[in-house]
Amino acid sequence: MVKVTKVPSRQVAPRRLPRLLLAAGVAATTLVVAPQATARTTAQAADENTTLTVAVSQSIDSLSPFLAQKLVSTSIHRLAYEYLTNYDANDAKPIPGLATEWKSSPDKLTWTYTIRKDSKWSDGKQATAEDAAWTFNKMMTDENAATANGSFTSNFKTVTAPDPQTLVIELKKPQATMTALDVPIVPKHVWEKVGDFSKFNNDQQFPIVGNGPFVITDFKVDQYIKLKPNKDFWRGTPKFDELVFKYYKDGDAAVAALQKGEVSFVPNLTPAQAAALKSAKNIKVNDAPGRRFFALATNPGARSKDGKTFGNGHKALLEPVVRKALFLSVDRTTIVDKVFQGHAVEGEGYIPPRFASYFWKPEATQKLAYDPAKAGLLLDQAGYKKNGDGKRVGKDGKPLDFRILCHATDPNDKAIGKYLQEWWGELGIGLKVECLDNVGDPWTKGDYDLAFDGWSVNPDPDYVLSIHTCGTLPATPKDSGATDNFICDKQFDALYAQQSVEYDAAKRADLVKQMQSRLYDTGYMNVMAYPNALEAYRTDQIDSITTMPAAAGNLYGQDGYWSWWSAVPTTSAAGSSADGGSSGSNSGVIIGIGAAVVVVVALGVFLGMKRRSTADDRE
């Protein structure tokens, strides 16, 4: 959501980015819970290696965990590096990751984590508390290293590793995210050699050393990124012999590749694509409640921490009445029905309904429902009246014309752009839809009026909220910062500060809802819809795979690594196991294709969280 590269949809993120059986279109399955199993159940007899290929349309912004904010990048980092904690695939509660347990002092100012003894870096060295301490200290002392995830460590006072298995974090004040620190832990012995963290993209030497379920082995910009299973991963080795994320600029090309069997999985389907694939042989469509929001972002006047303004955003949008008029001229029902064809929920607050405890809805008196007549009246009263040609004219006598940044690869952006041109045109407002391959450059420079925005929200909403605080603004106009949309509002910041130290779940949820109410009222962020996760995969390549939540959840962009780590190749596609057929154990609920599938649950391991994917967690 934001950032080094500002590409929202940010299908997070920053951070992205609370997350039902598969929805309509997915065959019913039988689930059986069984004790720990270690064999690659369907792959033992095959001779060739297996590859799970995932089609993606989003460019990787960086392979550095300190810089990456897009969903595709942060998803890959979840595969390559362990975090202190993970998220249960069933209910998103915190579970062990690199840390096996944790506890806080009575005053909540000191947190002690026990680091597991069975985690190794892919170069054979032991992963220790010193690696975690170094990662956090680097973020605390180097602003460039804090680019992507600095909000998690800004309240840290000291971080020490008194011994290899003990990590101690002292806080300046209590912090509610201490069991949801979405920060990839990196190997100190590799990263301490890095000089300028703002320029190091971690893409010069392969394989990249990590301790997650996969190891990054190759990368070509806007072509592919390849990963191999980490044989020493403590949860067990992934079942496929290779995982490839392959870039497709065109969504139809990706779907065609799926139909031909050239890729195993395609996310972010359009409703038309999903409908066409439901009757295709050997393909299953997953239609589940998503963890993303789709929004309209308004340039609030790009500025930096040093007080300088920059960019060429339209000055009229600095007026609340203009933003409110635009808000009143967006028909969310039409967007859900016509663009998403029902595979979405009408947008309201910032947090999707999937995260029930944080989901917010405006009061009846507060809600800005579609009302173009009222919008026109507001503009008239504010002095923006129509001239003889039916154009709204500003106080400077110039027509009220706006630009909106659109992702060239996102058909939803283009479709909604056409509706906005129609709706706002009736108001007398012009709109130019600027669809670009890279919206990041003009976004970072503040050279836009409006933009299609979106983030994947994590079970803990801290990150996706933090990107709208004053502290994430760039230091100077030449810097990128971690802000999503240059919003800096003292009332929002005060609420953010309160929720960050509130340990009472109900009280914290109420503060988060107040923050969403404030974003809604300012009109800088207009959440139009919460799209479903529409995705499809080949059943002749993938025999079973874990969704999150386990009941009717998504597969791509999870708050964890459960999908790709758990995926089991079918007998027809399976290859020989790199570890002689013993590929570890899975934890969690797996969706079986066809016949009943045995779900492996490792004894003693509890399975179910940037966002971008906050997050990005963004796409």
Q: How far is CA 382 from the centre of its chain?
A: 38
Cα–Cα nearest to 321, from 366, 240, 375, 394: 375
Evaluate whether 161 touches 167 at the Cβ level (below 8 Å). yes
Evaluate whether 267 touches 533 at the Cβ level (below 8 Å). yes
- If pLDDT is split at 50, 70 and 90, which confidence band does 19 have? very low
pLDDT computed for residue 573 by the predictor: 64
pLDDT digits (tens, 9 = 90+) for 182-192: 999 999 999 99
- Taking residues 172-198, report their average pLDDT: 96
pLDDT digits (tens, 9 = 90+) for 201-235: 999 899 999 999 999 999 999 999 999 999 999 99
For the cut 60, the answer to whether the pLDDT of residue 124 exceeds it is yes
Q: Which residues contact 365 (CB under 8 A, 6 or more apart)?
A: none
pLDDT digits (tens, 9 = 90+) for 569-590: 998 665 433 333 333 333 333 3
**Amino acid at the residue 151:** S
Q: Which residues of 522-542 are buried (b: 16+ CB within 10 A; e: fewer)?
A: bbbbbbbbbbbbbbbbbbbbb
Percent of the chain with pLDDT over 70: 85
The percent of the chain in helix, strand and coil, each rounded to the nearest 5, is 25, 25, 55
Alpha-carbon separation of residue 276 from 24, 252, 270, 273, 517 (angstroms): 14, 11, 10, 5, 39
> What are 603's two structure tokens?
């004894």
- For the range 394-402, what are the long-range contacts, defined as Cβ-Cβ under 8 Å and sequence gap of 24 or more? 394/316, 399/430, 400/316, 400/428, 400/429, 400/430, 401/429, 401/430, 401/431, 401/432, 402/314, 402/317, 402/429, 402/430, 402/431, 402/432, 402/449, 402/450
- Taking residues 296-302, report their average pLDDT: 96
Q: How far is CA 510 from the centre of its chain?
A: 23
pLDDT computed for residue 571 by the predictor: 84
**What is the model's pTM?**
0.80
For the cut 50, the answer to whether the pLDDT of residue 618 exceeds it is no
pLDDT digits (tens, 9 = 90+) for 24-50: 333 333 223 333 333 344 444 344 799
**Residue, of 142 and 580, whose pLDDT is higher:** 142
Pairwise CA distance, residues 139 & 149, whole Å:
8
For the cut 60, the answer to whether the pLDDT of residue 200 exceeds it is yes
Pairwise CA distance, residues 610 & 70, whole Å:
8
Say which CATH superfamily domain 85-191 falls into.
Answer: Dipeptide-binding Protein; Domain 1 (3.90.76.10)
Evaluate whether 448 touches 457 at the Cβ level (below 8 Å). no
- Taking residues 546-565, report their average pLDDT: 93
> What are 4's two structure tokens?
């080094």
**Amino acid at the residue 318:** L
Residue 87: CA count within 13 A, CB half-sphere: 29
- Taking residues 602-616, report their average pLDDT: 34
Packed helices 320-328 and 372-381: angle between N→C axes, nearest 10 degrees: 160
DSSP-derived 3-state class of residue 169: strand
- Taking residues 165-178, report their average pLDDT: 97
Task: List 296's β-bridge partners, or say none.
Answer: 452, 526
